[in-house]
Structure 1
Amino acid sequence: MVTQPETPGAGLTCAGRLTMLTAWPPKNNAPSLRICSSSPSRRSTHGRETDPAVRATTCGVLQASQDFWDDRGEETVEAAEQEIDTAFQKLVAALTARWGSPETVDLEPYLWTEDPAPEPINELCQISGQMLVWRRPDAGRWVALAIGQADREFPIELLAAVGAAPVP
């Protein structure tokens, strides 16, 4: 679950392998967002990523609903979808304010290719049908958001990814 920091400049820790940091409160009412890997197993003692592949790509869950093993009722699922969509829309607004309008990328073709798709696209296409992508040509990378669910009993997840692989 993503929560607002209590002190200015505090970070937000999210579920999964990503940490979302914000400058709080935003300057000039413009949202500020930074996504970075927080995988401790591949960090050096100085906090810098040591594996070049990890520096270039990462994917993680920012927020997840409850699972649906015990209750798959329509009201329960709709409430979970609404909660995740609200968080998704807030992040879309923050990233759009910073980097402009995103591109929608269909992930289904990656799921059915003979060769595995490059990461993090491969991970995303397993649980989501599309992603919104903000390209960062100055950094040679892109940032993406997606909503996905591995199967109907699993949680609905808000996912963020950073990648360097070409995206059509």
Structure 2
Amino acid sequence: MDIAQYLAVIDLLCTREFPEEHGRTDVGESGPGYFTAELQTSDEFWEDDGTEREETEAQYEFDRDGLGERLSARWGPPQMFSLAGILDRVLQGEAIPEPWSTLSGHVPDLHLWQPPGVGRYVALGISQWDKELPFQLLALVTDIDPP
């Protein structure tokens, strides 16, 4: 996919009805009040000395920032939102609503917008569950307030 396709996915998710149950959609995970779109996924890094991983991470940050510039042109600058504190709260046993609870385990921070007239939050983040596993460029669309 390219930036135009990413924007089309985000636009679609801003208007699509949220599902009543957790599950997979044509673009990623979803549940009551949210969609998480997997816009881009890298290869795994099982036999990497770290160089390929670092280059891939830099490319994913570049792609997120490029898409973020297009969203900022529409909605203004994003709020930078760290999920580290949410992860700490989850690990201490606090009940954090989805999608925030799961995202905090593999996305360190988000670029977060609250587009006027949409009634939903839109966020971009880079996921990596573990150093050997792929990176993913994620778009989140939700009507659930960040905790």
TM-score (normalizing by structure 1) = 0.68
User: Corresponding residue for 2:24?
Assistant: none
1 or 2, which has the higher helix percentage? 2
Q: Which amino acid aligns with 1:116?
A: A
Are 2:78 and 1:102 aligned?
Answer: yes
Percent identical pairs in the alignment equals: 30
The structure with the largest alpha-carbon Rg is: 1
CA, structure 1 residues 3+166, in 2 after alignment: closer, same or farther (shift >3 Å)?
A: closer
| Matching residue of 1:163 | 142
Query: Structure 1 pair 4/162, CA: closer, same or farther in 2 (3 Å)?
Result: closer
> What residue in structure 1 maps to residue 45 of structure 2?
68
Counterparts of residues 9-88 of structure 1 (less than 5 Å): 12=5, 20-21=7-8, 34-36=11-13, 49=17, 51-52=19-20, 54=31, 56-71=33-48, 73-88=49-64
- Give the alignment's Cα RMSD to 1 decimal: 2.5
For 1:132, the equivalent position in structure 2 comes to 111
SS of the equivalent of 2:114 reads strand
Deviation by residue 1:87-113 (Cα, 9 ceiling, x = unmatched): 111111011000001001111121122
Rounded Cα–Cα distance in structure 1 between residues aligned with 2:117 and 2:130: 37
Given the superposition, is the C-alpha separation of residues 21 and 77 from structure 1 closer, same or farther in structure 2, using an over 3 Å criterion? Answer: same
The normalised TM-score by structure 2 is 0.77
Between 1 and 2, higher relative CO (CA 8 Å, sep ≥ 6) is seen in: 2
Instruction: Give how far 1:163 is off.
Output: 1.2
How many Å separate the matches in 2 of 1:96 and 1:50?
24
Paired residues in the alignment total 134
Matched, 1:92 2:68: yes
Q: Which amino acid aligns with 2:40?
A: Q
Gaps of 5+ in 2: 22-30
